[in-house]
Chains A and B, each alone.
Chain A
């Protein structure tokens, strides 16, 4: 079996930067719990798609063997720095670059010193414990003009490339649920999903994911994306669907909560 585990995790840096805030700390713990499950599945590589790595030209894949430095989030800089040291599976990443055009997707590798690794990827690597030398990653960008179908294609082709190279992979989609955010400063201790409707939508979608009802999810996601202002239209979920060939039998929600009003969930899919 090529895909050994799959996860949906939030892109907000708040759980990493401020775990002492109870709600954010619970998300931090949930991501660490998911990280342990990921490690237990014993993958060779982790396929990561992050909504915050935004591209507008081509599909970008991280092909730099080691990316390291200190990142400062453009919104939450006052909560501290985000050091990172991320190792990529360049063999698989280059295979994805080569394979993409065969699916109609113009692609390129990104291998530059100082390239700004996005907040979501750094958060996922830090809290899931991935991206080290023992568990390298392949990171795919979010081309803003790609739709759900193209994103599924990317997930599928990455898995196909891994299969060709006889690698076991975990799949991680980095992104949020509802996107309504508090637009004035709040006391972090009072953080909650910005409105009740968003909360209902998030929970409804999470229940469908837990039940593995992909058909109903496909029907509802466009409405969910619109009504709950979902991060990037929930394209990151389609990365998972593509990688899993459109099927999973259920899921375990390790955590769900707010990130400055937006919805954040840590989900482990049952394959």
Chain B
């Protein structure tokens, strides 16, 4: 009966449904976009890692820094498997992943794309004796990864220097990369445990003067990379490897321009450490099993507690918790404002429903009277009009939720096109089922509320309307 009534007044029904649909579209799209923006901003803040992530350094805590996001660590302190196990066993710790940064000597990629090398004046690599850059003369030390670089500089990618320079390789457990602060910008992550694949970082791109939007150009190239070892009296040699750059990642797990497997970093650590005192004094290798641990707390609101517990264990921590809290506050305000705009649209649509129902009540006075004459109670009549309002609201809500998701997807496409042009990681639009459900149920509920007064008016019409003017 309700459906047929709506069809009978098709023009008005379509317009009323359209008003609700537009409002629901606005609400869905705005809330979805706001939610995605929040996720993206927080992801930027946490460099793609979990928001409840905590960086633990192989250093004692500095008592004056414990309450700060970027707390300055105290004196170095070895971080071994026992310490890792202890951190893992702390309450409210969901997971703890070891990180190992080791010194490396790097040459620019040797498999060069079409762009010719353009050396930039004043940016030549360090080559003074005793520095990691003085890699010429390195000797093979066994295995496949021991080739020395050719005496002649290889052609380099981009406009950066091609000569060797000292930096670090960040080794992480790649099997758990999804829970680490890594954001893939191009290509892919190295295979777990791989000793032949690495990812470059935006810092590496900067060094080569390659814009981020051209990051993909690096993928597939081979980089010359050596783990240095001191041999006394200022001499050092490097164990050279030729890993393939399989991707470009932004990362906040440790300090370094290259990211690889924990196993590869361990090889480097062991090689460099075998040089004795030089390892620490010349190459900055810490005498520790791991240079850091990335801890994930159970929940964001447990981060402070977990940091306190780790501090009690004796290690310095960093976590952007205050920044995240601040960002969340601001983004929540934006969400509320956008949601409010959508809600206002829905309220306007609800007024449209009420208006349409008032008109229907006026037009159907006799029909209402007839219904009462054949025995309908006031609440039966009220139910009919409320059902009409709910139906209009639900149909509008369903259409609006679908359209809102579509609009959000289109906006996401446009934003991603822009981000791609900027060489920044793209958005992953998160269309929440909850938002869609709220749009549909909210539209129906608001329509129901809007229908209450007209429905009551219909219910209160006297039954004698059936014979009025008859």
Q: Do A and B come from one complex?
A: no
Give residues in A with beta carbon < 8 Å to B: none
